[in-house]
Amino acid sequence: MSLSTLSVAQLNEYVRRVLASDPMLRKICVVGEISNLKRHASGHWYFSLKDEEAAINCAMFRQAAAGLRFRPDNGMRVRLFGSVSLYTKTGSYQFYVDSMEQDGLGALYLRFEALKQKLLQEGLFDASLKKPIPTHVQGIGIVTSKTGAVVHDIARVAWRRAPSVELYLCPASVQGASAADEIVAALRLLDAYDPADVIIVGRGGGSMEDLWPFNEEKVARAIAACKKPVISAVGHETDFTIADFVADLRAPTPSAAAELAVQRQDLLLQQLAGYRIHLDTTLEKRFSELHLRLSEAKQRLGAASPDEKTQQQMSRIQQLKMRMQSAVDGQLEKKAFALAGMLPRLHNGCEKNLSVMENRLSQTMLRMRTAGPIETVRRGYAVVLKDGAVVKDAAMLSSGDKLNLFMNNGTVAATVDHVEKGS
């Protein structure tokens, strides 16, 4: 028996034809759960369809994918209509999908939604609980696999933006049965490590099963319990996990997480320079305003100064004094001229008036002497005094009163023996 010798291409093409000619493998319906869904830029979709025991690679080309009325996602249970064939270039056996129908949700997706609703009702997703990312981060804690590309992507972006930033890697498995516990331990360790200002937790893309540790309740609660802000960077831009909802900030990729955590140092320096220019301008303007106000205040203070007021009043008094002196001198000069003209008449009038007044004074003095008590006493009368007061009426006296009699050339002391009242 002779053996046939075939090339790889001939073998793959033969198998393809065998599969294509089998009526059992054409126009069939397969039920399973979508996994590892990838939407290519060309519009073609590539994914796996699995159940509890096996999986098969699937391809759905752009024209068939465009006709769907729903959006397939990982974990979704679907019914696929198509044919089995072989991709000869790689020798891979796969199912070519002509159409797709929803057949309920997969088990993982149901678990995802149940936990999401539970944590949502507890308030773990509330925006009010989100901690702000520090403006100037000096240290970044990283929770991811030490062998993957994630840590290198974060380091490349972070050090490009700020060469002085420190990175602290706490490695953890990001896939498999022990991944959730390792992620929780790493989060707690970095949250207690003072040099780390913010924590990035994440991994690269993958299927829903690959990303499942980030959908575990223990990981979600560990992120929520962190005192430091946590940035989630799990999978690709279209992938969402429970960790994304609980974290303080979600980044579509690990590289984007580094950009969100670290400000560009050159832009920060430019911003600081702008602040300095603005501050200098503001201070210069403020100093000018204050200098002007100070000058005005000095002027007002000088005008209100007691010394200035006193000087002004003294100057005014001096002016008034000079004016008054000038007015007085003028009046005196006028009076002097008038008096000089009146002196002869005043002299004659004064001599005449003086003679008349002397005559009147002599007559008045004569009348006063004649009518006065002294002349009366000289004529033989006496002035009666009681206790220094003149007695004008006999009714003022009583027997025994002591009297002084003022008489010409002397005073006589007497005592009243008897008073006889009457006219």
Residues 100 and 140 in one domain: no
Q: What is the CATH number of the domain that holds 70?
A: 2.40.50.140
Check whether residue 160 and residue 41 sit in a common domain: no
Residue 121 included in any domain: no
Q: Can you read off the two tokens belonging to residue 82?
A: 């198509």
Residue type, 110: L
**Does some domain include residue 90?**
yes
Q: What is the mean pLDDT of residues 299-306?
A: 72
Establish if 284 belongs to a structural domain.
no
DSSP state of 91: T
Cβ–Cβ < 8 Å for 403, 413:
yes
pLDDT score of 21: 82
**118 domain-assigned:** no
105 in helix, strand or coil?
strand
Residue 111 forms part of a structural domain: no
pLDDT at 339: 65
Structure tokens at 112: 């995802």
Judge if 256 and 221 occupy the same domain. yes
pLDDT over 70 at 266, yes or no:
no
Helices 254-261, 150-161: axis angle to 10 degrees equals: 30
Rounded to the nearest 10 degrees, the angle between the axes of helix 179-191 and helix 217-225 is 0
Strands (E), 66-206: 76-87, 92-105, 139-143, 166-169, 198-203
In a shared domain, residues 249 and 135: yes
How much is the pLDDT for 271? 67
- The domain that holds 236 is classified in CATH as 3.40.50.10550
- 45 within 8 A of 71, measured Cβ to Cβ: no
Q: State the residue for tokens 């008036």.
A: 353
pLDDT at residue 228 in the model: 96
Containing domain of residue 400, as a range? 375-415
Among the three residues 263, 283, 309, which one is the final residue of a domain in this structure? Answer: 263
- For 39-82, how does the pLDDT look when each residue is reduced to its tens digit (9 = 90+)? 999 999 999 999 888 999 999 999 999 988 888 888 888 999 99
The answer to whether the beta carbons of residues 206 and 174 sit under 8 Å apart is no
Query: Does pTM surpass 0.75?
Result: no
Q: How far is Cα 15 from Cα 85, in angstroms, rounded to an integer?
A: 9
Q: Specify whether 140 is located in the same domain as 180.
A: yes
pLDDT single digits (tens) 123-177: 999 999 999 999 889 999 999 999 888 999 999 999 998 889 999 999 999 998 8
* Average pLDDT estimate for 401-406: 85
End-of-domain residue from the set 105, 123, 154:
105
Q: Examine the fold and report which residue of 203, 236, 263 is the final residue of a domain before the chain moves on.
A: 263
Instruction: Name the domain count of the chain.
Output: 3
What pLDDT score was predicted for residue 265?
A: 63
Give the DSSP per-residue string, 304-347: T-HHHHHHHHHHHHHHHHHHHHHHHHHHHHHHHHHHHHHHHHHH
Amino acid code (one letter) for 336? A
Q: What is the residue type of 146?
A: K
Distance (Å, rounded) from C-alpha 256 to C-alpha 154? 8
pLDDT attached to residue 418? 84
